[in-house]
């Protein structure tokens, strides 16, 4: 298997982008990544996108988007694993370069979510749950994560204040990220005073609906060294994927995210690393409880200690193990198909030492954890300065 | 790059399957492929599906379907390239095994198309075209292929009778395929007398709306040899993908399918083969004109000679180069996400000498050509008895 490196990153400013279409956003992010990489062509394009069919009435993104970039003819394909579609796009590109089938791949993610009304967006997102056993009976994602939060609270004594601390931290980090959807400081009091969406999750415990796109260029480590110049070469050393039952009702234990644990175990095994080796992580904080459970599942903290860790500042930008220095889904925004790609873009930016005010000092090993549905799928990548 | 072989195939009887849900169809095909392969587990599941979001209100198939098979925990992902989603599922699995990231992969395709009314099915299929430049202005797929047919007729003198001959041949082949949706003999007169859908395409020039699922198990050639027993080992020797502009309006030449030509060239180059080496082909006959243009694009016939070839019987089951011995999309049915997988299942069945009454004698090298939209993407695989 060939070693694979990330040589370019690009993302647009996330937000409610009513003046930009899906294809425009995607092309802007892709051109930024290509410019950053220094290559003038690629062999393959992968696109992570959850539900362009429901959000904008458009499938067949491989053809549509390659064409938009003036690259009709190129090999291209789309992947989907709900909100983990971006991570899957990287995995697909990684397998192509690792096998030698492709030399250089443009890995992208995109979601245009604000061209429909709120009810339709909620319906589209709900298709990440088991519609026949969950969605059609009325539950939506805040409700599913609220149930996970309730179990975590009962089992471990996690509090609403601790959940709020995740939002406080991630919004503080987001203030330092020019691409973030929200540049606003929030306090624990703000979170607790915001509208209750699904008990115990308040509005400020939830990530937003976002338009956005992100992109990476990956190639063999050998080629990356030739192109790197003075910049560090960032290698993908671990890639792990896993699923869990899609319905919460069928899970053995609702206090853990088993798909995340399994995906992380597989990524660690491949990289020859353990949680202690990780310098920073981007995790899938679609809700505040999700970040706490994710940090436990990837082994940064023991089960039940994720909440106190954030309260103690261990996951802050200057903490022991910074989590979501980008601002996370909470502040940066969550264009679902783009999220997994944007997470890796942040890790690469950090490992290159190019993160500016939000730079994690001495970062040499980073982890990105992307998740679909209520934890029905997860993809974890480990990246290192080669 | 490791050599990869197909060790199991499975498909359900295609049709209007109102008593079977998407997950049931998919599980039946998957279990059939696993039983045929002789393995008791796989490392990864890939799912080709075009638009489960629009057809059945469900995304996140990786989690949903792994769970349905009792395999929650396994790595899984879905891919989409409109009606070429099945071919893309094989490509994704192929890259995983070739790289060594996975040892054994369950490659699947599924589409549940009859749980919506006709207008909604037409809308869902229309998302494979450029909605902003084609679909939203009123054109649907029969219209797009009718335009391709009109150009082919003007340029090469292709006739309605020659188009009809494709339907006659494929329905004759489908009579010999127990999995086919339609077991009926049609004549040139029947085709020409059927309702005009979009001039020059009659109803019997069009493939149907179908529910169906198909599956393959692939692994390293090394492991395949251990498992093969007396059966031939069928190796994937070529895999090529390409795109074209998604809109017909932007194409340089409407008399050829450039994405198919490019994908085939890439697959031939990888396999070290040329069109003369192919013993049989499954091609994407979503409309009769599509088969004619595909046989030209993959190089079986020179441009403009595809129509006379079918008229002369060259592509018949006993002809010089049998095309669509399975009955093709026309007779076997076209559950869009499953089609690309079912095509490869047919090639493998033929190369194993297990195709019964529709067996192509002496078949050692086969080609499967899958296509998205009006030729906006295509994926070609070449398979050989190792």
pLDDT in the model for residue B262: 98
CA A34 – CA A330 distance, rounded (Å): 27
Cβ atoms of B7 and B39 closer than 8 Å: yes
Could you identify the residue written with the tokens 């494979």?
B128
Residues of A in contact with B81 (CB under 8 A): 60, 62-63, 76-78
For chain A, the C-alpha Rg in angstroms (whole number) is: 19
Contacts of A354 (CB under 8 A, 6+ apart): none
For residues B370 and B50, the answer to whether their CB atoms sit within 8 Å is no
Sites in chain B below the pLDDT cut of 50: none
Please name the member of B75, B101, B377 whose beta carbon is closest to the beta carbon of A63.
B377
Cα within 13 Å of Cα(A255), Cβ side: 14
CB spacing of A241 vs B92 below 8 angstroms: no
Mean pLDDT of A205-223: 98
Contact A247 B67 (CB under 8 A): yes
Closest CA to A246 of B186, B355, B372, B59: B59
- Closest CA relative to residue A327, chosen from A314, A339, A336, A337: A339
pLDDT tens per residue, range A54-90: 999 999 999 999 999 999 999 999 999 999 999 999 9
- With CA atoms as reference, report the closest residue to A145 among A377, A330, A306, A374: A374
Kindly state the average pLDDT of the residues A278-295: 98
Phi, then psi, of A167 in degrees rounded to 5: -65, -40
Contact B64 A130 (CB under 8 A): yes
CA distance linking residue B365 with residue A208, whole number of Å: 52
Tell me, what's the pLDDT at B350? Answer: 98
Give me the helices (H) in A39-113, please: 52-56, 61-68, 85-99
User: pTM of this prediction?
Assistant: 0.98
CA distance B380 to chain A (A): 11
CA–CA distances in Å: residue B273 to residues B267, B299, B380, B384:
8, 12, 13, 11
Given the structure tokens 């009513």, which residue do they identify? A18
pLDDT confidence tier of residue A92, bands split at 50, 70 and 90: very high
Three-state secondary structure call for residue A86: helix
When pLDDT is averaged across residues A117-136 and rounded to a whole number, the result is 93
pLDDT in tens, B105-117: 999 999 999 999 8
User: How many residues in chain B?
Assistant: 386
**Residues of chain A found within 8 Å of residue B59, distances taken between Cβ atoms:** 50-51, 54, 80, 82, 127-128
Task: Specify the pLDDT at position A117.
Answer: 84
Cα–Cα distance measured from residue A189 to residue A166, given in angstroms and rounded to the nearest whole number: 13
- CB–CB of B177/B332 below 8 Å? yes
Residue of B24, B72, B110, B123 best to disrupt the A interface, most CBs of A under 10 A:
B72
Q: Name the DSSP letter for residue A136.
A: G
Please report the pLDDT score of residue B118 as a whole number. Answer: 83
> In the prediction, which pLDDT does A2 show?
96
| pLDDT at residue number A373 | 98
Reference A152, options A200, A102, A211, A83; nearest CA is A200
A129 and B60 in contact by Cβ < 8 A? Answer: yes
Neighbours of B70 (CB within 10 A): 10
- Yes or no, beta carbons of A77 and B92 under 8 Å apart: yes
What digits encode the pLDDT tens for the residues A147-191?
999 999 999 999 999 999 999 999 999 999 999 999 999 999 999
Residue A85 near residue A50, CB atoms below 8 Å: yes
Query: What's the pLDDT score for residue A75?
Result: 98
Angstrom distance (rounded) from CA B3 to CA B53: 35
Q: Write the pLDDT tens digit of every residue in A361-382.
A: 999 999 999 999 999 999 999 9
- Indicate which residues of B carry an active-site annotation: 83, 334
Tell me A15's DSSP state.
Answer: B
Residues 6+ apart with CB under 8 A from B371: B83, B84, B257, B259, B260, B284, B286, B290, B294, B377, B378, B379
- Phi, psi torsion values for B237, nearest 5 degrees: -100, -20
Percent of chain A predicted with pLDDT > 70? 100
Q: Whole-angstrom Cα distance, residue A96 to residue A77?
A: 12
Backbone region of residue B328 per phi and psi (left: phi > 0; alpha: psi in -120 to 50; beta: other values): left
Cα dist. B111→A64, A70, A339 in Å? 21, 31, 27
The Cα–Cα gap between B48 and B103 comes to 19
Residue that is written with structure tokens 């975590």 in the block? A152
Task: Compute the distance between CA of residue A243 and CA of residue B45 in angstroms, rounded to an integer.
Answer: 10
A interface test, pick of B80, B112, B248 with most A CB neighbours within 10 Å: B80
DSSP label at residue A177:
-
Mean pLDDT of chain B: 97
Q: Which of B20, B44, B60, B297 to mutate to test the interface with A (most CBs of A within 10 A)?
A: B60
Q: What SS3 class is residue B192?
A: helix
Other C-beta atoms lying within 10 Å of the C-beta of residue B185: 11
Beta bridge partners of A365: A384
């Amino acid at each position: 298997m060939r070693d694979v490196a990330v040589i370019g990153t690009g993302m647009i400013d996330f937000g409610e982008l009513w003046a930009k279409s899906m294809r425009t956003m995607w092309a802007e992010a892709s051109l930024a990544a290509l410019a950053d990489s220094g290559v003038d062509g690629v062999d393959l394009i992968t696109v992570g996108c959850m539900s362009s069919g429901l959000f904008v009435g458009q499938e067949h993104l491989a053809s549509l988007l390659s064409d938009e970039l003036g690259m009709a003819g190129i090999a291209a394909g789309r992947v989907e694993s709900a909100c983990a579609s971006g991570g899957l796009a990287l995995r697909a590109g990684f397998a192509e370069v690792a096998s030698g089938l492709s030399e250089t791949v443009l890995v992208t993610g995109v979601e245009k979510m604000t061209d429909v009304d709120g009810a339709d967006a909620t319906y589209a997102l709900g298709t990440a749950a088991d519609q026949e056993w969950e969605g059609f009976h009325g539950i939506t994602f805040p409700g599913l994560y609220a149930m996970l939060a309730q179990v975590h609270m009962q089992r471990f004594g996690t509090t609403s204040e601790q959940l709020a601390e995740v939002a406080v931290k991630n919004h503080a980090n987001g203030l330092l990220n020019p691409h973030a959807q929200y540049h606003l400081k929030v306090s624990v009091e703000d979170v607790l005073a915001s509208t209750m969406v699904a008990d115990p999750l308040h509005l400020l415990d939830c990530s937003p609906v976002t338009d956005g796109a992100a992109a990476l260029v990956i190639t063999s480590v050998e080629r990356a060294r030739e192109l790197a110049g003075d910049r560090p070469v960032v290698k993908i050393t671990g890639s792990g994927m896993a699923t869990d039952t899609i319905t919460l009702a069928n899970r053995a234990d609702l206090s853990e995210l088993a798909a995340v644990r399994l995906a992380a175990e597989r990524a660690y095994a491949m990289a020859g690393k353990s949680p202690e080796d990780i310098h920073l992580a981007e995790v899938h904080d679609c809700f505040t409880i999700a970040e706490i459970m994710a940090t436990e599942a990837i082994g940064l903290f023991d089960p039940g200690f994720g909440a106190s860790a954030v309260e103690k500042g261990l996951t802050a930008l200057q903490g022991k193990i910074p989590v979501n220095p980008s601002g996370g889904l909470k502040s940066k925004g969550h264009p679902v198909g783009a999220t997994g790609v944007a997470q890796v873009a942040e890790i690469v930016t950090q490992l290159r030492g190019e993160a500016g005010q939000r730079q994690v000092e001495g970062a040499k090993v980073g982890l990105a954890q992307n998740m679909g549905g209520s934890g029905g799928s997860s993809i974890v990548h480990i990246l290192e300065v080669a």
